[in-house]
Chains A and B, each alone.
Chain A
Amino acid sequence: MAKPTNVDPEVPQGVSPEKADTSLAASAAGGTVGWVDDRVPVSGFGRKALRKAFPDHWSFLLGEVALYSFIILLLTGVFLTIWFKPSMAEIEYEGTYALMRGIPMSEAFASTLEISFDIRGGLLIRQIHHWAAILFVAAMIAHMLRVFFTGAFRKPRELNWLIGVGLLQLGMIEGFAGYSLPDDLLSGTGLRFVDGLIRSIPIVGTWAEFFIFGGEFPGELVIPRLYMVHILLIPGLLLALVSAHMALLVYHKHTHFPGPGRKQTNVVGQALFPVYAAKAGGFFFIVFGVTILMGALMQINPVWLYGPYNPAQVTAGSQPDWYMGFVEGAIRIIPNWEWHLLGTTWSWNIALPGLGLMGLFAILPAIYPFVEAWITGDKSEHHILDFPRNAPNRTAFGVAAMTCYGLFWLSGGNDILATQFGVSLNQVTEVMRVLVFAGPVIAFIVTKRICLSLQRRDHERVLHGSSSGVIVRQPDGGYSEAHAPITTEEAFTLTQHHEPAALEVAPETDDRGVRRRGGKQVGSLRARLSRWFAHGRIAKPTAEEIAEAAHHGDHELEEGDVHELPTEEEAATH
């Protein structure tokens, strides 16, 4: 339906039904939209969705980076499948890369060389694909840390957190399968390592090895099989889980950071159409553009320098892609524990750091929301995020876990550390064996102290304002700094958080002295944990204290006194 070019100024708009139909909205509804809407209720969806609110914060973009790099991987991956031959059949290379002519290699490696040297744009797409894969896992982990430290995993979002944990695990396997495909020296070395890892599984390891490789390592089946895993099985699962992740995000509506007007009962942000759509859509192109530029300018995985896989060769300084580094580190620093029992071999030196650590990496995040909810007894919904400092034990636990991960990851480059810093490789290894346990403990304590200090700072800002930088000299010669009051908006933001009470051990009998059914509701261990979790904080100032401080502040400069902050113990008893 065409829009009229002239509107009679004499006729008031929107009075007659005919005229109302000629408005822009009606014309859209009657055109293509109308045609579709007659068949699919797009208007009903659009009515709700078009002005949906999306809160704005830079840290909310981390998940978007993960989503966008996944889309980039799908797009570039399709291009690569046009040329890649997932075959371990041996051929003699006769392509354009002169240095390898005449060398026997697998078709997989030869076709990777062809993509890199003979297909226009092939090297570019290959490098974008690899950079995007590295970015994909990095963004997922960064996003997961944001969700963890702000408490966004709490009810009702626990299921979406679990989906996220699954996405991360699948993403890592997907990445590993991908970098095994070119069948170059580095990827073959990675596969050799995985063969050793699979073999080490107690009892069923050899069977798993023979089934995965179709017999002995390397055989001729593993690359075609990994190809299926890499381009069909895992991308399919990822796509399904990403869809579920997004659907739950839309259903729950996004969390928001505390601030004026931000409530548990509302969501404040930019409307989906047009602002959020433009920002998120624009951000997709920025992520895509940056990965293209990385693919253009930053060399990654130059397989032609490594050569085809040769089981008798390895490069010193071989490293997996970064996200497997923590497993690599654990494998490197573990003592050589192996049991030889009754004609069997139990390789704890491989199974523990490999499967055990990867298992922990999946299980710990998966159970954390439920453990915290059990400790706090919190069954309410949470839509306002925590500032990490206001949940010191959670934040300290998260930083301890990051520290542990980081130290294992560094151990994965113990040889590089030794050569770069000119220290003994053996000592680096020995020190790391201690640090992976001691580091997290230190990190926990330090982080908790920092959180409490930040809480004290908040406390002081709310009561006494911010430092003005103006030093005032008193008539009696003393000096003090004048404090400027903070805005009401900031004062609200710093004091809006909820301070849940600790769980108490439920009495075994009720008010009338009758024994409760079902035993104790809250055991003493749970109550003790709950007390520890709830009391590790500086109580926020009460309304009376704020009023008192405001009144007092009028005289502060004259009196020039110093405010003592409550100690942690005093504050906790408020």
Chain B
Amino acid sequence: MSLDTSHDHSHVNAPDHPVPDPGLHEEERYTDADERAGARAYRQVVGILAAIPVLAIAFVVAYFAIPIDATLHIFGATMKANHLLLGLTLGLGVLAIGVALIHWSRTIMGDEEVVEYRHSAASPADSREEAAEKWAIGVEQSGIGRRKLLGTGLAGGVGIMLVPAVVLLADMGPWPTAEERKKTIEKTIWAPGVPIVNDVNQVPLRASDIAVGQLINAQPATLFELHGAEFQTEKAKSSLIVVRMELNSIRIPTSRQDWHVDGILAYSKICTHVGCPISLWEQQTHHLLCPCHQSTFDLGNSGVVVFGPAARSLPQLPITTDAQGYLIARSDFTVPVGPSYFERNSENDFKEGDD
């Protein structure tokens, strides 16, 4: 059978062989040449197959006999005995099936190759013609050739039914209209007078307890009244970093003179890049580094970006103290926290050089 299948005969590969094809050649295999090698291979395959039931039984024994919390200490590591033995017996058993089959196929099954002829991927020309004819008969029978509106009507009808299908998905989430955004991604639970508390033990932070250079992860006290998804959603926006820096070593713009308490400043912990909680604090440089993508912000300079892929300053939370000297928020953040989104008006974010 030839491969003259191309419908464009100008590009058919003519064989161009400076060395003529010597044709297939077979070499005798060692297990065929040496009868003892053949017998050895046979014993090996049977031996491996015989190991499989042993391993299967060992698996069942391990499953029922070893308590799930039993541990083994091997090479200084503590391992779950049940897990380890189940895995070893199952893994070696399954592996044995594969090794036996492949050893059998390589050493015992005949190794002569077979030659098959290829056919062209294309249908023969007469099939194409016949199919085209039948198609034409079908089109004729359908009447669509004479009454053209049938086809248009059907295509239009099926097409328009995509609209209900898509509309059905319109309730997948609330629509982020300007009004909805103001209630969700542009708002946090920080509000005037909300106490700033330690993120872990919920103890309110007192200004006089915070030393220069110290960083505290904080939350609004009101967060801990929430539960479940609401808690997580609000925490993803309200998480706060409170730092105290030497006042004469940092720059506080005129517009933010009353946002801090004696060098105690509060910033959003949520990176303006893709929203990771920023956590790595360099006390001496006042830099805060995000461990996810290494955006670096200067907390001594209103949170401007000094390195990395983030494009906007960390939002700063205006804070003050209550009558007892505990830190409280003066308002919500003045700009939305977290990663950018299309409708975000980013012209009010603090930029290097603002005052």
B50 within 8 A of A: no
B214 within 8 A of A: no
* Chain A proximity mask over B146-173: 1 for CB below 8 Å, otherwise 0: 0000000000000000000000010011
| Shortest Cβ distance from residue B178 to the other chain A in the assembled complex, whole angstroms | 10
A509 within 8 A of B: no
* Residues of A close to B172: CB separation below 8 A: 211-212, 214
| Given A89-B228, A269-B113, residue A292 in contact with residue B87 (CB < 8 A) | yes
The residue on A at minimum CB distance from B345 is A343
* Residues of A close to B21: CB separation below 8 A: 260-261, 263, 492, 496
* Residues of B close to A368: CB separation below 8 A: none
* Residues of A close to B92: CB separation below 8 A: 289, 293
> Which residue of the partner chain, among A156, A283, A315, A350, contacts B273 with CB atoms under 8 Å?
A350
The residue on B at minimum CB distance from A89 is B228
Q: Which stretch from B94-102, B134-142, B244-252, B319-327 is at the chain A interface?
A: B94-102
| Shortest Cβ distance from residue A420 to the other chain B in the assembled complex, whole angstroms | 15
Tell whether, in the assembled complex, residue A343 and residue B175 are in contact, meaning their CB atoms are under 8 Å apart.
Answer: no
Tell whether, in the assembled complex, residue B97 and residue A495 are in contact, meaning their CB atoms are under 8 Å apart.
Answer: no
Tell whether, in the assembled complex, residue B275 and residue A266 are in contact, meaning their CB atoms are under 8 Å apart.
Answer: no
A425 within 8 A of B: yes
Within 8 A of A (CB), among B309-327: 309-312
> Which residue of the partner chain, among B82, B86, B269, B275, contacts A196 with CB atoms under 8 Å?
B275
* Chain A proximity mask over B72-98: 1 for CB below 8 Å, otherwise 0: 000000001011101110111111111
Tell whether, in the assembled complex, residue A195 and residue B294 are in contact, meaning their CB atoms are under 8 Å apart.
Answer: no
Within 8 A of A (CB), among B10-33: 11-13, 15-25
Tell whether, in the assembled complex, residue B91 and residue A345 are in contact, meaning their CB atoms are under 8 Å apart.
Answer: no
> Which residue of the partner chain, among B93, B174, B274, contacts A215 with CB atoms under 8 Å?
B174
| Given A120-B86, A266-B116, A347-B340, residue A210 in contact with residue B173 (CB < 8 A) | yes
Tell whether, in the assembled complex, residue A214 and residue B269 are in contact, meaning their CB atoms are under 8 Å apart.
Answer: no
A46 within 8 A of B: no
A517 within 8 A of B: no
B130 within 8 A of A: no
The residue on A at minimum CB distance from B25 is A260
* Residues of A close to B102: CB separation below 8 A: 278-279, 282-283, 286
A251 within 8 A of B: yes
A23 within 8 A of B: no
* Chain B proximity mask over A374-387: 1 for CB below 8 Å, otherwise 0: 00011111010000
Assembly CA distance A194 to B173 (angstroms):
17
Q: Which stretch from B34-42, B103-111, B256-264 is at the chain A interface?
A: B103-111
| Shortest Cβ distance from residue A48 to the other chain B in the assembled complex, whole angstroms | 10
* Residues of A close to B91: CB separation below 8 A: 289-290, 292-293, 295-296
* Chain B proximity mask over A281-300: 1 for CB below 8 Å, otherwise 0: 11111111110110111000
| Given A120-B68, A332-B294, A543-B18, residue A210 in contact with residue B175 (CB < 8 A) | yes
| Shortest Cβ distance from residue B75 to the other chain A in the assembled complex, whole angstroms | 12
| Shortest Cβ distance from residue B2 to the other chain A in the assembled complex, whole angstroms | 6
A199 within 8 A of B: yes
Per DSSP, are chain A's interface residues mostly helix, strand or loop, or mixed? mixed
Tell whether, in the assembled complex, residue A285 and residue B11 are in contact, meaning their CB atoms are under 8 Å apart.
Answer: no
Tell whether, in the assembled complex, residue B276 and residue A425 are in contact, meaning their CB atoms are under 8 Å apart.
Answer: no
| Given A53-B116, A206-B176, A495-B18, residue A156 in contact with residue B23 (CB < 8 A) | no
Assembly CA distance A217 to B305 (angstroms):
24
* Residues of A close to B217: CB separation below 8 A: 312
Tell whether, in the assembled complex, residue B16 and residue A498 are in contact, meaning their CB atoms are under 8 Å apart.
Answer: yes
* Residues of A close to B347: CB separation below 8 A: 340, 343
A32 within 8 A of B: no
* Residues of A close to B98: CB separation below 8 A: 282-289
Within 8 A of B (CB), among A533-547: 540-543, 545-546
Within 8 A of B (CB), among A287-345: 287-290, 292-293, 295-297, 309-318, 328, 331-338, 340, 343-345
Total number of residue pairs linking A and B with CB closer than 8 Å: 359
Interface residues on B, range: 35 or more
Assembly CA distance A340 to B21 (angstroms):
68
| Shortest Cβ distance from residue A506 to the other chain B in the assembled complex, whole angstroms | 12
Tell whether, in the assembled complex, residue A252 and residue B342 are in contact, meaning their CB atoms are under 8 Å apart.
Answer: no
* Chain B proximity mask over A199-232: 1 for CB below 8 Å, otherwise 0: 1111111110111111111111100000000000
Tell whether, in the assembled complex, residue B113 and residue A270 are in contact, meaning their CB atoms are under 8 Å apart.
Answer: yes
Assembly CA distance A286 to B91 (angstroms):
9
> Which residue of the partner chain, among B18, B233, B294, contacts A429 with CB atoms under 8 Å?
B294
| Given A270-B113, A379-B11, residue A312 in contact with residue B275 (CB < 8 A) | no
* Chain B proximity mask over A119-161: 1 for CB below 8 Å, otherwise 0: 0110110000000000000000000000000000001100000
Residue with the greatest number of chain B CB neighbours at <10 A, chosen from A275, A340, A345, A499 = A345
In the complex, 26 of the A-B residue pairs with CB atoms within 8 angstroms, ordered by the A residue number, are: A156-B121, A156-B122, A192-B236, A196-B275, A199-B340, A203-B342, A206-B176, A214-B172, A215-B233, A219-B233, A267-B115, A285-B97, A285-B98, A288-B94, A292-B91, A295-B87, A311-B239, A312-B277, A313-B279, A314-B276, A314-B291, A318-B292, A332-B308, A381-B3, A381-B5, A492-B17
A contacts, CB < 8 Å to B = 51-53, 88-90, 96, 104, 117-118, 120-121, 123-124, 155-156, 189, 192-193, 195-197, 199-207, 209-221, 251-253, 260-261, 263-271, 274-275, 278-279, 281-290, 292-293, 295-297, 309-318, 328, 331-338, 340, 343-347, 349-350, 377-381, 383, 414-415, 425-426, 429, 462, 488-489, 491-492, 495-496, 498-499, 540-543, 545-546
Q: Which 6 A-B pairs have the closest CB atoms?
A: A296-B87, A289-B95, A196-B274, A282-B101, A285-B98, A261-B24
Please name 14 further chain A to chain B contacts, defined as beta carbons within 8 Å, in addition to the given A288-B95, A293-B87, sorted by A numbering. A52-B116, A196-B274, A218-B233, A261-B24, A275-B110, A278-B104, A282-B99, A285-B99, A293-B88, A340-B347, A344-B343, A380-B12, A415-B294, A496-B17
